[in-house]
Amino acid sequence: MAKTSGGARSRRSPRVRGAAPAGPLRGRTAVVGLFVTAAFLAVAAQLVHLQVVRAEGLQARADRQHHKTIILSGERGTITDRNGVILAKNMDTPSITANPASITDLSATARSLAQVLPVSRHAIEKSLGGGRHFAWIYRHADPTLAKRVAALDLPGIHQVPESRRFYPQGKMMGHILGFAGTDNVGLSGIERAYDAELRGKQQHLVMQRDALGRPVLAVDNDYVRPGQGANLTLTIDQVIQHHVERELDAAMLETGAESASVVVMDPKTGEILAMAVRPEFDPNRVSHYQADEMRNRVLTDPYEPGSTMKMFLAATALEAGAVRMSEMIDCENGNMPLRGGAMRDSHPYAMLSFADVLAKSSNIGSTKVAMRLGPENLRAGYARFGFGQRTGIELGGESPGVLPATERWSVRSLPSIAIGQEMSATPLQLVTAASAIANGGHLMRPYLVKEIRHGDQVTVVQPREVRQVMSPAVATALRRALVGVTQSTGTAPRAAIPGYEVAGKTGTAQKARSDGRGYKPGAFIASFLGMVPADDPRLVILVVVNEPKGLYYGGTVAAPIFRAVAAPVLSYLGIHPDTDRTVTVVATGDAAPEMPWERTKG
């Protein structure tokens, strides 16, 4: 055998079966390491994104899933009249609810409920859908409905007591009070104007949910029951309001009028003692009325007041020294030519004192006095009394009326505006302005809320004077002259009350068309604006009757309503008759002939 050189054996390393070469192994390990590192970095980045970047949002989402916030409102405050008679309060009524998740046959359940409740089957099925654990079916059911639903004994249908607004006096004062909706939120009238005070403070209660999403316990152990809202005392006197609404109902029946309203004010303070509107409105039965019937026409519906404006023409002219009460004025025998058309009186008069111009409501005599004033002074005088401006009463929706700027007056505007045409005013503006004549010249802000009581804190609303509009001497002289209106030779003897001197003014105005183009044929608004007792008035009352059927004169239609309201109210307030009370009325000139409506029965 051959030998290697030097006699030494070969030293090759032995090969291990199955072993990979060293180079490829290292490469594969590096790749795996890279993948592991990348995966770790991706997970770490996602953790950072979730725990840092999105932490707040995810925490809120978890809270929504595990907690439920319930908003609780304090019981709505009570509203009373000035003597403590309850006008609005809260009471518990049954509301129909459902747990849809526990109802096996939604369609059959909806069908059964729809036969009892005033809710359609489709609406009920929609409420029950979605697999929720709670749904409202019908809120504030009356007890009869609630009993009928209970008698069905439907699985998953429940009843819960819920606080609802209730008006114990029914339709009385409905337009003043307004109403609160299903969620006890004021939607009109005093309820809306003072909603923030009446509603009280809301309380948020956090409840923890179980696995099915049902609230099981309160998370906040410091829960405090939400407090009741403030209680309001109104200036309204329920007794006076009763007399007003009774007579207004009778007048609507007798005259067949489209609508009517009465306002009673204390002229010294501006407090509204009564305010009523027809058609009626019962806030307990809101769904039975159209929006037009809910409107408080005393402050939302201006109208051309007609001859009632002559008392404010007189106040302006007397204050300016443009006329004297005893001054004789030629009334042109009932026909006075003017640019734009003649001015006429319904009865022809020759010479009348200015006092008699008011007592007999002469358009011609009034126009001649307005001409002495001129457009600027006449408009400024009306504006001082608040016409063309909102009175500032608490209720919403008040109209400012219309008192056009003199730049917009035509050649006919001065005589027309002097007698209450080509302008408009609300009943509230008229009774507020007349109160300034009654109280010696102070224009007061009218108001309806006398006191706000929240726990131990009491806020008493004080009367507020807007401005002085005339001197006390002129106011006294004007009231004395206006007594002539209710005497036998005036336009409103039916407003006279035995034992009392009544000062006032009638209005018989054509009703303007809704499109503003002329007047509606055969349509009139009859009114009487009066104050009593005339020497020191305690009451100012305005009666407005819109489109009476048949007779339509203010002295025939509205004056008797004034008397029917004022007589019992004077007695109720303890204002005793004084048959010795005398008022000097300067009345010269020929006696007026008897007017046709003065011969009517009643």
Range of the domain at 593: 238-599
Distances (CA, A) of 401 to 39, 82, 279, 395, 440: 78, 30, 22, 16, 25
Please report which confidence band the pLDDT of residue 531 belongs to, taking 50, 70 and 90 as the band edges: very high
Give pLDDT, residue 107.
Answer: 86
Residue 8: band (very low, low, confident or very high) from pLDDT cuts 50, 70, 90: very low
Contacts of 585 (CB under 8 A, 6+ apart): 355, 359, 480, 481, 483, 484, 487
Average pLDDT of the residues of the chain? 85
Question: What would the mean pLDDT of 40-49 be, rounded to a whole number?
Answer: 73
- State the CATH number of the domain containing residue 512: 3.40.710.10
Cβ–Cβ contacts within 10 Å for residue 445, how many? 16
Ramachandran region of residue 39, left (φ > 0), alpha (ψ -120 to 50) or beta? alpha
Within-domain flag for 311: yes
Q: What is the CATH number of the domain that holds 83?
A: 3.90.1310.10
Q: Give residue-wise pLDDT tens across range 111-127.
A: 888 888 888 888 888 88
Query: Is 319 domain-assigned?
Result: yes
Q: Is residue 60 domain-resident?
A: no
Phi and psi at residue 181, to the nearest 5°: -80, -170
Residue 159 has what pLDDT?
A: 84
pLDDT attached to residue 582: 42
Give the pLDDT mean for 119-145. 82
SS3 17: coil
Q: Is the dihedral of CA 435, 441, 446, 447 positive or negative?
A: negative
> Domain check: are 328 and 219 in the same one?
no
Are residues 292 and 193 part of one domain? no
Q: Are residues 344 and 196 in the same domain?
A: no
pLDDT at 116: 87
Same domain, 499 and 573: yes
Least confidently predicted of 349-363, 509-523, 526-540: 509-523
The 10 Å Cβ neighbour count of residue 28 is 10
77 and 192 both lie in a single domain: yes
Q: Which of 216, 234, 252 is the last residue of a domain?
A: 234
| Residue 257: per-residue pLDDT | 96
Question: Which of the listed residues 234, 252, 270 is the one where a domain comes to its end?
Answer: 234
Higher pLDDT, 118 or 79: 79
CB environment 327-356: b (16+ within 10 A), e (fewer): ebbebbebebeeeeeebebebbbeebbbbb
Q: Which of 127, 307, 353, 435 is catalytic?
A: 307
In the sheet with 519-532, reading across from the earlier edge strand, the strands are 272-278, 259-265, 539-546, 519-532, 503-512
Q: Same domain for 251 and 222?
A: no
Question: Do residue 169 and residue 268 come from a single domain?
Answer: no
- Which helix (H) or strand (E) segment is 126 a member of? helix 121-128
- When pLDDT is cut at 50, 70 and 90, the band that residue 416 belongs to is very high
Domain assignment present for residue 496? The answer is yes
Residue 6's pLDDT band, with cuts at 50, 70 and 90, is very low
Please indicate, yes or no, if residue 503 is contained in any of the structural domains: yes
Place 305 in a pLDDT band, splitting at 50, 70 and 90.
Answer: very high
In sequence order, the 6+-apart residues with CB closer than 8 A to the CB of 81 are 87, 233, 234, 236, 237, 238, 241
265 and 200 housed in the same domain: no
pLDDT band at 146 (very low <50, low <70, confident <90, very high): confident
Q: What is the pLDDT of residue 7?
A: 46
Q: Kindly state the percentage of the chain with pLDDT values over 70.
A: 83
242 lies in some domain: yes
pLDDT-derived band at 178 (thresholds 50, 70, 90) equals very high
pLDDT score at 352? 95
Q: Is the pLDDT of residue 215 over 60?
A: no
Q: For helices 310-320 and 472-482, what crossing angle results, to 10°?
A: 140
112 in a domain, yes or no? no
Average of per-residue pLDDT across 186-191: 94
Instruction: Answer yes or no: is pLDDT of 130 > 50.
Output: yes
pLDDT of 238-287, one tens digit each? 999 999 999 999 999 999 999 999 999 999 999 999 999 999 999 998 88
Stretch 330-342: mean pLDDT? 90
Respond yes or no: is residue 307 known to be catalytic: yes
Note whether 276 and 307 are same-domain residues.
Answer: yes
Lowest-pLDDT choice from 93-102, 165-174, 288-297, 567-576: 93-102
Query: Tens of pLDDT along 452-467?
Result: 999 889 999 999 999 9
Comparing CA positions, the residue from 138, 163, 165, 167 lying closest to residue 150 is 138
Upper half-sphere CA count for residue 445 (Cβ side, 13 Å): 15
In this predicted structure, what is the pLDDT of residue 33?
Answer: 75
Structural domains counted in the chain: 2
Domain finish residue from 219, 234, 249: 234
- Note the pLDDT of residue 446: 98
Element of type H or E holding 176:
helix 174-177
Q: Report pLDDT digits (tens) over 308-325.
A: 999 999 999 999 999 999
Give me the percent of the chain exceeding a pLDDT of 90. Answer: 58
Both 196 and 247 in one domain: the answer is no
Please, which pLDDT band fits residue 426 given cuts at 50, 70 and 90? Answer: very high
Residue 297 and residue 189 share a domain: no
pLDDT band, residue 4 (cuts 50/70/90): very low
Any idea which of 60-69, 224-233, 494-503 has the lowest mean pLDDT? 60-69
pLDDT-based confidence at residue 599 (cuts at 50, 70, 90): very low
525: buried, middle or exposed (CB in 10 Å: 19+, 13-18, 0-12)? buried
DSSP string, 357-412: HHHTT-HHHHHHHHHHHHHHHHHHHHHHTTTTS----SSS-----B---GGG--TT
Residues 287 and 198 in one domain: no
